[in-house]
């Protein structure tokens, strides 16, 4: 009664980084945070608070970027 079709052992899902949404988003976050960190004054560049602030800023800006997520999905 249940017509469930499974992939055989010879078929594997794509494993390209281009297809892995989580890796792509992680890379975007890393690049954006790095850009913001490098724009900081040198004495403030490597503080944990500065890093946390920039991560929060990047994540907040990404929440509103629906076009980014549409292109990834």
Quick check: is 14 in a domain? no
Stated pTM of the model:
0.66
43: containing domain: 21-72
Quick check: is 5 in a domain? no
pLDDT tens, position by position, 31-49: 999 999 999 888 888 899 9
Number of domains making up the chain = 1
Q: pLDDT tens digits, the chain, 73 residues: what are they? A: 567 666 666 666 566 656 678 888 888 899 999 999 999 888 888 899 999 999 999 999 998 888 887 877 7
60 vs 55: CA distance, rounded Å: 8
Quick check: is 6 in a domain? no
Quick check: is 42 in a domain? yes
Quick check: is 9 in a domain? no
Quick check: is 8 in a domain? no
Quick check: is 16 in a domain? no
Please, where are the H alpha helices in the chain?
21-38, 48-63, 66-72
Quick check: is 15 in a domain? no
């Amino acid at each position: 009664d249940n017509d469930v079709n499974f992939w055989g052992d010879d078929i594997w899902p794509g494993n390209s980084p281009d297809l892995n949404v989580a890796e792509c988003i992680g890379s975007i976050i890393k690049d954006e945070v790095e850009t913001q960190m490098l724009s900081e004054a040198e004495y403030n560049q490597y503080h944990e608070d500065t890093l946390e602030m920039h991560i929060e800023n990047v994540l907040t800006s990404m929440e509103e970027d629906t076009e980014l997520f549409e292109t990834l999905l």
